[in-house]
Structure 1
Amino acid sequence: MSDFHELIKSFPKTRDYVRDFFVYGFKTRNDFKEKSPRTYDNERRRLESWLAPYVRKDYAPGGSSISLAIDSSLLDTNPLFRVWKTKSFTDNDIVLHFLILDLLQDGRPRTLGEITDSLLTQYEALFDIQTVRRKCNAYEKEGLLIKTKSGKTVLFSLDNSLARWLGSNRQVLDACSFFQMAGHFGIIGNELSQQFDHENRSFRVKHSFFVHTLEDEILLELLNAMNQHKAVRMDLRSSRHGTVSTAECVPLQIFISTRSGRRFLCGYLRMSRRFSCFRLDALKHVALLETAEDYGPLLDKLTQNRPSLWGVSFQGGGGRRLESLSMTLQVIEPGEGYIVDRLKREGRGGSVTKVGEHVYRYETHAFDCNEMLPWVRTFTGRILSLECSSKLVEQRFYRDLQTMYRMYDI
């Protein structure tokens, strides 16, 4: 049996387990059926190693379940950033990392031959020049080294510009502290703060959605595609069935729920010639495709359609026509005028009309009125009637009411 290693090679697999432990903490070992029990044990031990102060173990008849108990309002950083900082490496990887960076600290550019010779003479470390070349080229792509040419000679030097700038602008580190709590790519602010031993003593976020940092790798690829106006191919995992499918679209915008923090990609599907939204936590992999020549017109069309979105769904009416909803309510005036204010404030452009004494009608059009039902139910007890062009929405509303009546013996 192989030994357990805290370091990881496949981040997507670890991301799924961390999300399951964080969101679905009631699962026991037997509930993870897609992977072997041994895989579950390894991921659980990694989680306990990274996030020990926040791990909670509950006992149930089916076995113990692991969950994460994190109160964002009490923390100065996102504990899940630790997941990004753990990656497998070889002995040569870690040795070369420190030796090359230490060698180039003086700021003097060197050729690959000079770097290889200096590693041997100064550190007694013998490496093949091809190994050093691969490492230096990789670090140049990541922004750690600067690659320049003097004639035919290639020189590498350490890029210390950011360190010098941050070192002379300590107030910028406060901005980094704020940025790490902002929600998107906060790991960057966290890394910069830690490199300069700067602690966040100023900022706390009452409602922060820590778990969504696990999607930042996917989000970065999507933003790159948008910036380059390219289509993408995505691997999507169904949260309901666990199956993986493939879809191609032109990514246009990222939508973010103010209630749950959940992020969605809104893109255009050429096969079905309509817009659609995909949850970022359902995307497993993103690959860039060809440039979308009609990117601008598609974005303009989405901008025109957005006022008719209630949430993120374009599916109602087949995605090609709007649905209408009309809700009649009883509002006892003047004491319940706040109900009318709510309709106007939260109705997202719908009309509010007084049709009788203590009776108001709210009317709106949307792509998918099914998304409105959670909001509509908040007016239960005041609703006199509800009509919708989608009879399925209407039937669901009245069916839910009947279920509630049976539950409470009404």
Structure 2
Amino acid sequence: MKEFYIYGFKTREEFDEKSARSYDNERRRIESYLGEYVCFRQTQAGKNVYISMDGTENTHNPLYKAFKSKSFTDKDITLHFIILDILADGKYYTLKELLKNIDNDYLYNFQEPMCFDESTLRKKLKEYIQLGIIESKKEGRQVLYKIVEDELDISEYKEAIRFFSEENMLGVVGSYLEDKMEQEKEYLAFKNHYIMNAYDTEIIEKILRGIYERRQLMIANQSRRNKVMSEWKVVPLKLYVSTQGGRNYLICSNMYGKQMSFRIDYIKSVQLGEIIENYDSYLRDYQNRVKHMWGVVCDKGKNYEHIEIDINVEQGEDYIVKRLSREKRCGKIEKIDDNTYRFTADVYDSNEMITWIRTFIGRIKKIKCDNPEVVNQLKFDIVKMAKWYEVM
């Protein structure tokens, strides 16, 4: 689904899996998850299939459905319900007792009953223990199994869970919890609803584990330009979340100390490696560098780009100064005169600041920057805006 949704639906010719039949199977599977959101239009090149949804209208992320699906055989689903039915009384059962109950109470009357051996049942019970559905204990040489009692009342946290499920990078966890509660009339709306982050959940979970456990990560990353795959061994340091564009980035260091950033939606896979003994030294280096990071560029040679902006602040406009203090990610603010405040910073990439600087157009008295592209871009923006409003 990520391949189709993030990079656009592929034609049969572009699909690089096994066969055209695989293409149809994957497309139909996506349609079964997203239903009404899958659209198509006819073009000269053929049928163009795409997904269309209004982020402000869809207050429940529909992409979580992919996590809640599971393929199974007829034996899988039969054994699933039999086990849960036997254990529903809350008592402990041994493996042999479970097998006896299955044969005598559930399969006895069938002309051609399914056969479940001890190995199959043991594997299924082990899987359910890992999922937290079943618990086990040992008595002598015997292992006893019992269904886990769900005594947790999460109703008091429904508002927090509702918000978490749509706004957090691991929101699918909240979505699973919501499934346990009664559905109520929707009471949330989102101005910026970044539903596509759902596809990065498994990648992000491993990255967060790597940071928490201080482990090396092996990541496979796809280039945005030429689609070439590359593999990296990195030390994970921070996960950056953009509140403006919804993109997520991994800030990390390679094993030689060079800091790097990767866009999460271009990371194809992550594997946890060994624990890093000198993790603190990598973290200290990051903490020194973050003083000169505006966005995610964290290593652009040894030279910083110096920038100075003089901003007009009239009497009674203290909120502008407070906003400067609140929004600046690095640098400093000083008062030049009664109506002027100067913001100065030394950053790795001043281009990352352009969007923020634009919000002060109309108040900027003077701007100086080592990177002439920044000043030229702002001048271009002002000229374009003037032409748009027929000022020039």
CA apart distance, 1:28: 6.5
Shift of the 340–33 alpha-carbon distance from structure 1 to 2, 3 Å rule, reads farther
Q: Distance in 2 between matches of 1:103 and 1:332?
A: 73
Match of 1:276 in 2: 260
Q: Secondary structure at the match of 2:269?
A: strand
Contact 1:32 1:40 in 2 (8 A): no
1:131 aligns to 2:115 (yes or no): no
Percent identity, aligned pairs only?
30
Match of 2:27 in 1: 44
Q: Secondary structure at the match of 1:103?
A: helix
Q: Distance in 2 between matches of 1:16 and 1:82?
A: 16
Question: Could you report, residue by residue, the CA deviation over 1:322-342 in whole angstroms, capped at 9, with x for unpaired residues?
Answer: 33223467x596799987776
1:297 aligns to 2:281 (yes or no): yes
Q: Distance in 1 between matches of 2:14 and 2:383?
A: 37
Q: Distance in 2 between matches of 1:302 and 1:280?
A: 19
Match of 2:11 in 1: 29
CA apart distance, 1:358: 8.2
Contact 2:313 2:320 in 1 (8 A): no
Match of 1:15 in 2: 2
Match of 2:305 in 1: 323
Contact 2:336 2:342 in 1 (8 A): yes
Question: Could you report, residue by residue, the CA deviation over 1:255-289 in whole angstroms, capped at 9, with x for unpaired residues?
Answer: 11111221112222113x12222221111111111
Shift of the 359–171 alpha-carbon distance from structure 1 to 2, 3 Å rule, reads closer
CA apart distance, 1:379: 5.6
Match of 1:229 in 2: 214
1:141 alignment partner AA: Q
Contact 2:249 2:262 in 1 (8 A): yes
Q: Secondary structure at the match of 1:80?
A: helix
1:286 aligns to 2:241 (yes or no): no
Q: Secondary structure at the match of 2:87?
A: helix
Contact 1:233 1:287 in 2 (8 A): yes
| TM-score, length basis structure 1 | 0.79
1:155 aligns to 2:165 (yes or no): no
Q: Distance in 1 between matches of 2:181 and 2:96?
A: 32
Contact 1:28 1:63 in 2 (8 A): no
Shift of the 395–18 alpha-carbon distance from structure 1 to 2, 3 Å rule, reads closer
Contact 1:28 1:62 in 2 (8 A): no
Shift of the 47–132 alpha-carbon distance from structure 1 to 2, 3 Å rule, reads same
Shift of the 32–327 alpha-carbon distance from structure 1 to 2, 3 Å rule, reads farther
Shift of the 195–97 alpha-carbon distance from structure 1 to 2, 3 Å rule, reads farther
Shift of the 185–328 alpha-carbon distance from structure 1 to 2, 3 Å rule, reads closer
Q: Distance in 2 between matches of 1:193 and 1:332?
A: 48
Contact 1:119 1:126 in 2 (8 A): no
Gaps of 5+ in 1: 1-13, 22-26
Q: Secondary structure at the match of 1:236?
A: strand
Shift of the 76–214 alpha-carbon distance from structure 1 to 2, 3 Å rule, reads same
Shift of the 173–382 alpha-carbon distance from structure 1 to 2, 3 Å rule, reads closer
CA apart distance, 1:290: 1.0
Give the paired residue count: 381
Match of 1:57 in 2: 40
Shift of the 223–332 alpha-carbon distance from structure 1 to 2, 3 Å rule, reads closer
1:220 alignment partner AA: E
1:350 alignment partner AA: G
2:130 alignment partner AA: K
Q: Secondary structure at the match of 1:240?
A: coil
1:136 alignment partner AA: L
RMSD: 3.5
1:243 aligns to 2:221 (yes or no): no
| TM-score, length basis structure 2 | 0.82
